[in-house]
A and B are shown apart, each in its own frame.
Chain A
Amino acid sequence: MGKGKRKVPGINASSTADISFILLIFFLVVTSMNSSTGLNVRLPEPPEDEDLQNPPKIKKRNSLIVLVNMDNKIMVTQGEKAPYEIDVTELRQLAKEFITNNENRADYPEKHAEDIVFEEGGVEHVLPSGRTQNVTSKHVISLQTHRGTNYNTYFEVSNSLYGAYDDLRDELAQREYGKPYKRLDETQQMLCRLYYKTMISEAEPRSIGGGL
């Protein structure tokens, strides 16, 4: 019947590009989605003998000792007060009150005037409300654990303590710039971090890790 060559119709492959595009985008999205999250901490510098011989003196009112014991109970010692047990959910609020000392209590960290300045390329940046601020930068939160303490409890406690600083910086950002901390630029974030320096000391009670 057929005479000569019959032409084979080509398959319309114009949509293959679209299909593979979708696959490509799917892989791009999925692989970046499992980016890991966590709690950032800064360890103190390697211990040196000098530090151990001359530990800096910390006033009682400036110290908050959080001890997580073997039974995963959280014991808090603040200033001259006797140690007492606290639930992890209350810890964040306690830490915030301790750090700010808003009511200027005599048993909470002393407030003193300090210049909050961030210098960058010869330019000095200060907070909108002025250069000199009343801060409690001498406070220390000492987080102590036992070798048998559960990591999960320790993590929750750390999360609350570091979270307290995050909350305070957020409040400061709202007060000073009228927007949350996350929306500030890097200079402004730096100023907030200088205002509320992370003063959480771990491992040995005397060495402070954190700084900013």
Chain B
Amino acid sequence: MPELNTSSLPDLIFSILFFFMIVTSMREEEVKIEFKLPKGTGLSKIERKTAVVNIYVGSPSKQYAAQFGTSTRIQLNDRFASVKDVAPFVANERADMRQADQAIMKVALKADQDVQMGIMTDVKMELRRASALSLMYSAEDRNKQ
């Protein structure tokens, strides 16, 4: 019985590996804000990452502090933004999603635990205006670590 030639199998697997490495690092956006998430219990996980819009709130990290100051800022995608930009940004993100994801779109608020509620309330009001009502306060599990 002739043996099956498996010499190309490693190459095959390697290409899958590279595919995954590239795809996963590509989706990551550069976070220019320093934040420490609050800790909670009984948290839920995100089921569909493709249906999630991230909004970061915190103070700019060290290399951006000189340019943007150290006061609390909002980051949408790769740039700093003001509260007014939240609603159009969410509408834009929603339009870019697939039909199935649009219905279950969720906004993940990744905010530093030391920010004040004023800015958070403003962001939430903007989200309501954009009809993005499904919201998640990103947090870490207290029982881990």
- The CA-CA distance from A31 to B27 in the complex, in Å, is 11
Contact B44 A40 (CB under 8 A): yes
Q: Using a CB-CB cutoff of 8 Å, which residues 108-135 of chain B contact chain A?
A: 108, 110-118, 120-121, 124-125, 127-129, 131-135
- Chain B contact-residue range equals 35 or more
Question: Please, what's the 1-or-0 string for B21-48, where 1 marks a CB less than 8 Å from any CB in chain A?
Answer: 1001000000000000010111111100
- The CA-CA distance from A21 to B132 in the complex, in Å, is 41
- Name the CB-closest residue of B to A163: B42
Residues of B within 8 A of A147 (CB): 116-118, 121
Contact B113 A151 (CB under 8 A): yes
Contact A43 B121 (CB under 8 A): no
Contact B41 A163 (CB under 8 A): yes
One of A16, A24, A38, A43 near B20 (C-beta < 8 A): A24
Question: Please, what's the 1-or-0 string for A176-195, where 1 marks a CB less than 8 Å from any CB in chain B?
Answer: 00000000000000000000
Contact A155 B17 (CB under 8 A): no
Residues of B within 8 A of A151 (CB): 38, 111-117, 120
Contact A155 B137 (CB under 8 A): yes
- A201 → B minimal CB distance (Å): 13
Residues of B within 8 A of A158 (CB): 137
Q: Using a CB-CB cutoff of 8 Å, which residues 119-160 of chain A contact chain B?
A: 145-152, 154-156, 158-159
Contact B128 A47 (CB under 8 A): yes
Q: Known: A17-B6, A38-B108, A43-B135. Is A155-B21 also a contact (CB below 8 A)?
A: no
Residues of A within 8 A of B124 (CB): 43, 202-203
Q: How many A-B contacts are there with CB distance less than 8 Å?
A: 135
Residues of A within 8 A of B132 (CB): 43
- Chain A contact-residue range equals 35 or more
- Name the CB-closest residue of A to B47: A35
Contact B117 A166 (CB under 8 A): no
Residues of A within 8 A of B66 (CB): none
- Name the CB-closest residue of A to B54: A36
- The CA-CA distance from A28 to B112 in the complex, in Å, is 29
Interface residues of A (CB under 8 A from B): 13-14, 16-17, 19-21, 23-24, 27-28, 31, 35-47, 68, 145-152, 154-156, 158-159, 163, 166, 202-203, 209
Q: List 27 A-B contacts (CB under 8 A).
A: A20-B13, A23-B17, A24-B20, A35-B46, A36-B138, A37-B141, A38-B44, A38-B137, A38-B139, A39-B136, A40-B134, A41-B136, A41-B137, A43-B132, A43-B135, A44-B128, A145-B117, A148-B118, A149-B116, A150-B117, A151-B111, A151-B115, A155-B137, A159-B41, A159-B42, A166-B42, A209-B133
